[in-house]
Amino acid sequence: MTLILGIESTCDETAAAVVADGRVVRSSVVASQAELHAHYRGVVPEIASRAHIENLLPVLEQSLSRADIKLADIDAIAVAYRPGLIGSLLIGVTAAKTLAWTLDKPLLGVDHVHAHLYSVLLDQPELDPPLPAVGLVASGGHTALYQIDSWLDVRLIGSTIDDAVGEAYDKVAAILGLGYPGGPIIDRLAHSGDAGAVDLPRSMLGRNSLDFSFSGLKTAVLYHVRGVPARGENIKASPPPTLTDADVANIAASFQSACIDVIVKKLRRAIDQVGARCVIVGGGVSANRGLRAALARFPIACYFPELGYCTDNAAMSAGLAAVQLSAGKTSSLALDAITFSQFRPG
């Protein structure tokens, strides 16, 4: 049995996990910083990196005690080293390198977005999705499509040109005066609203494009709520109009339906282009009930992670790291953290 300790600190969750043989999650501990950032309705990088420093050691200790093992029992250390916020990434990467060096165990740098896709295999020892697959990662930082030929051969084939879909959920929630993160709240409200109540745009970009754009949809919601501003008017400065609970639910349902329509159409295009045999979905938005219901009607199998593994966690990195380890793809102790801007997917 191979036991891998995973560390995650790419954005605003500090996480550690112990995974056996790439599949069996022995422990998965996540310290969310959502409350710290809720006041700002988004992640503040400086606050995030400081919180990672405070949270990392207790989270690591808990992951070992819940797995009922000692550090010496670990076979390798995995860390999500790209992409993410540089200050946040550095905390996890430095901790992982220190552990690998002091324990004299292999270090495995894992791509956080690829790990989101791998999360469908966690706690599923028998699952073997047929490849090639189309991967969809929909989260607060990413909306991207991938061609998955193997777990070590994951190629980007489309991505958002502006806001990520989870980011659009969070911003629309802020426009509607709802809490943060907005995705789960809008998902819940959408259930009781009328998806046809508000006519919102569905940006498809070019005819064969696999890229996404969600900023026009977000702005359409803003204008629907606040009115289209006159030239030079700052609508954000005026007090928000009073919306009834029914108005909010209808806007949530219409927004969610526009997001899902776009994702479903792009997925269909990607399946055709790749000749995919299944779809693999990951990232925070993969928890969305509306998206799960829409993809349940797809002609090919769609795999989703268990709810606890949709948002950021370290088990997904420890899992994917096992595949890298068995292929001999370990990292050197000179492993560098790579941010959004430096990151060139390929």
Which positions touch ligand KG4 (CB under 6 A)? 11, 139-141, 166-167, 169-170, 181-184, 187, 283-285, 287-288, 311-312
CA angle 8, 338, 184 (to 5 degrees): 45
Alpha-carbon span 57 to 16, nearest angstrom: 9
Using rule CB under 5 A, residue 317 touches Zn ion:
no
Nearest Cα to 133, choosing from 110, 157, 111?
157
Burial 132-151 (b: 16+ CB within 10 A, else e): bbbbbbbbbbbbbbbbbeeb
Using rule CB under 5 A, residue 63 touches Zn ion:
no
Smallest separation, CB 294 to ligand KG4 (Å):
12
Nearer to Zn ion (CB atom), residue 123 or residue 312: 312
Nearer to Zn ion (CB atom), residue 271 or residue 337: 337
Only segment of 155-163, 234-242, 261-269, 310-318 that touches Zn ion (CB under 5 A): 310-318
What does the block give as tokens for 291?
């998206």
Q: How far apart are the first and last CA of the chain?
A: 32
Site for Zn ion in 116-155 (CB under 5 A): 139
Nearest Cα to 137, choosing from 282, 13, 319?
282
Smallest separation, CB 55 to Zn ion (Å):
17
Q: What is the DSSP letter of 198?
A: S
What does the block give as tokens for 240?
């928000």
Nearer to ligand KG4 (CB atom), residue 37 or residue 105: 37
Smallest separation, CB 307 to ligand KG4 (Å):
9
Smallest separation, CB 17 to ligand KG4 (Å):
14
Q: Are 311 and 187 in contact (CB under 8 A)?
A: no
Distance set, CA 166 to CA 171, 208, 222 (Å): 9, 23, 16
Only segment of 76-84, 127-135, 152-160, 305-313 that touches Zn ion (CB under 5 A): 305-313
Nearer to Zn ion (CB atom), residue 33 or residue 139: 139
Smallest separation, CB 92 to ligand KG4 (Å):
14
Burial class (CB in 10 A: 0-12, 13-18, 19+), 207: exposed
Nearer to ligand KG4 (CB atom), residue 99 or residue 258: 258
Nearer to ligand KG4 (CB atom), residue 80 or residue 270: 80
Rg (CA), the chain: 20
Nearer to ligand KG4 (CB atom), residue 129 or residue 181: 181
Smallest separation, CB 321 to ligand KG4 (Å):
18
Alpha-carbon span 60 to 56, nearest angstrom: 6
Smallest separation, CB 107 to ligand KG4 (Å):
22
Name the site residues for Zn ion (rule: CB under 5 A). 139, 312
